[in-house]
Chains A and B, each alone.
Chain A
């Protein structure tokens, strides 16, 4: 194999794929990236962790087609440090790969490409297109709630399913870690009818979000009950799905919360952040005392002392007190873009519903903390 590629193009391609590669691997070839030069002038880079695989293609001058694999992190570091604008010549032969750029030469050891595992996509019967902005919105507004706890592995991802809401077909995305829940509802795209319910794993979501920053237009999504594929133009991301059943989350979304609190998310969030300064770092409990049009945030820490702040807000129901984890509260408030947020409360032990208004696509449920 012999090919020449512009350094910036190579670096961009590598940055798309290298983060898939885990830092430590028990299977050596999983640390490598597959480089494939084809006769039509395309250089294909591919990385995998056996569950997730990213392929990116870039234009290059190919003298001799061929393929090999080298350490992804090493190659990425090399490409990063090469001088800007340099042409990188890649030659692979006899178990070595020679990289020449300007006056720098690297001779890297390789592993045979035939050993490189490729995820078999199989048939992906459901295909639909989503605008890039919609996909970004789905991810941004739900990913903070994805669980990291391995025992309930079925919560370690975003749950995607289609449903009917008020007579219109919708696509719903939900994530929860057992303490809070985030859900985004978007109109059902063409072709998504009959889509199986799937759980997209956390790592796939993170990689996809990174790639979405660099593309515009629409993303083609194809999926089967076990695999999902995102086609972003030059880059293609394929991932296995979490094999499990997402809990019936609609039951935990409260419908009868009659105490309505309306406030400005920015000043509320800053207030929570300020009083939480003295909360102990592990519990971060913030107490919220609700009185008629007067909301008092307070924190009592046995080590540090107390803090209190009044935040403006509209509230007319009965007075009571409720506690929340400050970090959870701020995670949710950070997702609100408008200048008003509705907090629907019931009592100090019941789930609380937070949303911008009743037409907003995103909805959050937060469990209180007993303080």
Chain B
């Protein structure tokens, strides 16, 4: 067998394997081109999940007649004007996408430069199928039909049109989030699936694409360190989700996926969220092009930072600072579902009894449970004499006026568990146990941070066997772990010796802890679980040392709790990310009474 150079169309199809693996990746390339062309509006039309047709129309700079032909050649691009690949500023630069896609589909390019006539060119699986004049407004329209029609191997590995469509939406969302100044529309099978107007702020755009409530339940980020800028929005810990799907990272306006983000976000939200809850964040990192290598992956979904540790520190620090500033904030509003649970009282209740279900629950009192009945002493009420009703008591100090405090002034307690406070703009309900637990924990953590963690040395050092890279990682971080009371020593190539354990963990199991740490160092490059376990002990102690639900509090005690919550950072959520207080807006109260 002799070695030969492969023909051009085969080279393109091989390149297509890297760049175009599914409709979503083709769509990504086209939308990126539109963005790089300086478009202000981008319209996308998909049919059958992008398998049958993808059309992208923009109002960008457009291409002249001979440029269209050149664009379909490999490594032909208008980007990289001064050939500085180290300092790429556009989303694309490889000049590979169009010929690659054209080699595996039927592609029609129509384009018009402002002030000139339009031209179109059709390429069918790498072969020119026709060209001629075209009528269109300034900009470019690209249509891809029958993607992978002649690549059965690729077609076989595609998923259902629904799944491909979902991937396409995700791509558009990420790009739309990165460029709030561009308007995007997405149509699928004739149905308008997404439409965002050009927006002024990133936060507005992120909220429009994820969850409208995010605007009220997030804090803006603006942090700069050594020429690297971190912007975007971070959701409040109480505004969490069960899956980590709403976490976005953009580097120089380029959406990327990076495991750095996962670890850093977890580190920043640590001890504010339960392990299985995930915050909503959209982080925008802007840094000089020379500090980051985007030419790592053909689809450019990964980047490499020159100083990953610094970027990581910036993310954790920036998020922490923003969340600290948010202080006691919690999810602002009760959900509509919770509001729906309110039942009108009085005569309205009587009428609803006729038609149960109108308010979710019937108002008729539940029948006494079957089984042995417990007699009540009040059955013989006549035997009791009522105590005298009037007593002289020293008057309480007049309660301060609401409005001066964000969490308002305590008005009373419900079920000996919830504090009802009146704030300027409505009613505040506070879960006294959760709130106090958080305050005690924050106090305890300050104490731990100030005093160092005592370490109990082991009489019989424990040998933990691990694989070699895990041992290397642990050994490299040994000094840091010793600060938390865990003293490790290398013990041969594939084991570590535990010399001392944090005294707070008692006679806990060393092996499990060390194995978890090694895994986390591999996954997130941070020893989270040691801190987590210490925090867990602190949290348990905080739980025991705090005011329980069911304890009756005086108004002064309640007010003291509210005031302390206002000045303590992170007091808006308990240790598991549940809110410690909710606000029932006056507007909502009015709605309940049909006033608005």
Contact = CB atoms under 8 A, between A and B. Distances in A.
Contact of B503 (A151, A302, A325): A325
Interface string B429-453: 0000000000000011011101100
Interface stretch (A1-9, A86-94, A175-183): A175-183
Interface stretch (B5-13, B393-401, B414-422, B456-464): B456-464
A177 B537 contact: no
Contacts of B541: 281-282
Given A302-B447, A370-B500, A177 B454 contact: no
A247 interface: yes
Interface in A314-371: 323, 325, 349, 351, 365-371
Contacts of B444: 303
A285 interface: yes
B509 interface: yes
A152 B448 CA distance: 29
Contacts of B485: 370
B504 A147 contact: no
Interface string A277-293: 00011111100000000
Given A147-B507, A369-B503, A370-B500, A178 B454 contact: no
B503 A283 contact: yes
Nearest to A252: B459
A149 interface: yes
B340 interface: no
Contacts of A369: 454-457, 503
Contacts of B457: 179, 349, 367-370
B454 A181 contact: no
A202 to B, nearest CB: 13
A284 B454 CA distance: 9
A368 to B, nearest CB: 6
Contacts of A366: 459
A110 interface: no
Interface string A235-263: 00000000000010100100000000000
A151 B450 contact: no
Q: Say what secondary structure dominates the interface of chain A.
A: loop
A249 B460 CA distance: 8
Contact of A179 (B447, B450, B458): B458
A149 B507 contact: yes
B509 A178 contact: no
Given A147-B507, A178-B507, A323-B454, A247 B448 contact: no
A351 B503 contact: no
A282 B508 contact: no
A371 B507 CA distance: 17
B473 interface: no
Interface centre among B462, B504, B541 (most CB of A within 10 A): B504
A148 interface: yes
B511 interface: yes
B507 A177 contact: yes
A257 to B, nearest CB: 14
Interface string A165-189: 0000000000011111100000000
Given A285-B454, A303-B447, A180 B459 contact: yes
B459 A365 contact: yes
Closest 9 CB pairs of A and B: A302-B447, A302-B451, A367-B457, A283-B503, A370-B455, A282-B504, A285-B454, A371-B454, A367-B459
Interface of B: 443-444, 446-448, 450-451, 454-460, 462, 485, 487, 500, 503-504, 506-509, 511-512, 537, 541
Given A249-B460, A303-B447, A371-B454, 5 more contacts: A178-B459, A178-B507, A181-B459, A301-B447, A302-B448
8 contacts: A151-B509, A180-B459, A252-B460, A282-B506, A283-B503, A302-B450, A325-B456, A349-B457
